[in-house]
Amino acid sequence: MPPDWKQHLELALVPGLGPKLTAALLQHFGSASAALQATAAQLEAVPKIGSLLANQFAKSFRTVDASIEIASLEKHAVLLALLGQEPYPSRLATIDDAPQLLYYRGTFAETDGQSVGIVGSRQCTAYGRRMAERIAGGLARAGWTVISGLARGIDGYAHQAALDAGGRTIAVVAGGLSRIYPPEHAALADAVAGRGAILTETPMTVAPQPGMFPARNRIISALSRGIVVIEANARSGALITASHAGEQGREVFALPGNVDSGPSAGCLELIRKGARLVRDADDIIEDLRGIAPPDLPPKSRVVSPPERMLFAPSLPTPEIIREKPTGLDDNQMRIWEALTEPKHADVLARELVLPSGDLTRMLMMLEMKKAIRRLPGNNYERR
């Protein structure tokens, strides 16, 4: 267990004390132990905590009892990971509302840095199941960790396919680990923990409530290099995960479906808004290998002027000069020629005086022809 784990556990058990307020308390008082000893007046001095919350927290701090929680940890062989300390996943630590404390069974591995989240409908079609299994299995065989939410439907099929392929998989659940939800996935949860990890930010005995799943989804996306939405209707919770991914700087992929298919309506809308169309695991791996991980400083893909001076003028580097691609129409060639350096789609639209809808279609065609690649933040560059 990490140092001060009991004090951090007690903070996690205080009602109403989420990740951001916990972070504010730790920053203000310096430790979980000091925060638990604070008076209402001292708590009121913490940013974002007014008098009402200060009195509520002070009372909870005096009465919180972690003994039942500790007994449950021991009974279910659950460990704790503390933000900023091993083995807390480094990519999860990069988001603003990272959980201060994770409950987990299983292990984290260095290879989990190469991970992809797969999400989708609980009531998926046969097509959705087949593609979830194909993509998850392909990723696992290529050495990528598959991350999902252990839910019925797409999540469960993705976890099982990764296991069947001999790969690693991580499940992020909304409720506590003393009772797996859905109950029919208890054996799957054990298998996931044996070949990866199952984790949550929720105390052991807390049952999942509807409002917990959107919060759970931010952890799925944060742990991943990119999120693949396999099948989602227009109101699917999987779209929340995609939204979190976009806000966190992760890539968003979506599986296309028939234009009149209700179960694919959310995926089609994501593609229309700029998500990467995906057909198989190879598409995902190819795209992510060309993108710097979101938790690392992005490496420049264009040689800066001082560096250009190091090269003889007669020996331009491949990063500066590329052969023009073939098979492009006039408008597509205009876009390619405008990408002398990475540019945002809005900048291209202004420079080329093209309607955004037309530009989006042309950019997609250029990606399909392998002439350009899309970067995080809706930026584009030549291949």
What is the CATH classification number for the domain harbouring 320? 1.10.10.10
Q: Are residues 139 and 275 in the same domain?
A: yes
121 found inside a domain:
yes
Domain containing residue 238: CATH number: 3.40.50.450
In a domain, 184, yes or no: yes
HEC per residue, 105-131: EECCCHHHHCEEEEECCCCCCHHHHHH
131 in Cβ contact with 255 (< 8 Å)? yes
| DSSP-assigned letter for residue 87 | T
User: What pLDDT is stored for residue 293 in this prediction?
Assistant: 63
pTM of the model: 0.74
Q: Per the domain annotation, does 79 fall within a domain? A: no
Greatest CA separation for the chain: 76
> What's 22's domain CATH number?
1.10.150.20
pLDDT, residue 302, reads 29
Q: Is residue 177 part of a domain?
A: yes
Q: Cis bond leading into 3, ω under 30°?
A: no
Note whether 270 and 334 are same-domain residues: no
Do 208 and 266 lie in a common domain?
Answer: yes
Do 114 and 200 reside in the same domain of the chain? yes
Query: Cα–Cα distance between 263 and 301 in angstroms, integer?
Result: 38
Let me know whether 218 and 166 are in one domain.
yes
- Same domain for 127 and 266, yes or no, is yes
Q: Which residues does 250 contact at the CB level (< 8 Å), separation at least 6? A: 221, 222, 224, 225, 226, 227, 294, 376
* Inside any domain, residue 148: yes
**Weakly modelled stretches of the chain, pLDDT under 50:** 295-321
Residue 309 lies in a domain: no
- The answer on 152 and 276 residing in a single domain is yes
Q: Give the residue from 142, 144, 374 showing the smallest Cα distance to 273.
A: 374
H helix intervals, the chain: 5-12, 19-29, 32-36, 40-44, 51-63, 67-75, 126-141, 154-164, 186-194, 212-223, 238-247, 265-272, 281-289, 305-308, 330-338, 345-352, 356-368
Residue 292: predicted pLDDT: 60
Q: Would you state the pLDDT for residue 82? A: 93
> Is the domain of 192 the same as that of 340?
no
Total domains in the fold of the chain = 3
Tokens of 189: 């949860």
| Same domain flag for 153 and 252 | yes
Q: Residue 43 is part of which domain span?
A: 5-65
Q: How many angstroms separate the CA atoms of 33 and 10, rounded?
A: 9
Whether residue 155 is found in the same domain as residue 230? yes
Residue 88: which residues within 8 A CB-CB, separation 6 or more? 81, 82, 102
Rounded distance between C-alpha atoms, residue 99 and residue 201, angstroms: 6
The size of the chain, in residues, is: 383
Whether residue 206 is found in the same domain as residue 274: yes
Give domain status of residue 182, yes or no.
yes
82 part of a folded domain = no
φ and ψ of 378, to 5 deg: 65, 35
The closest alpha carbon to 78, from 258, 254, 202, 208, belongs to 202
Same structural domain, 243 and 138: yes
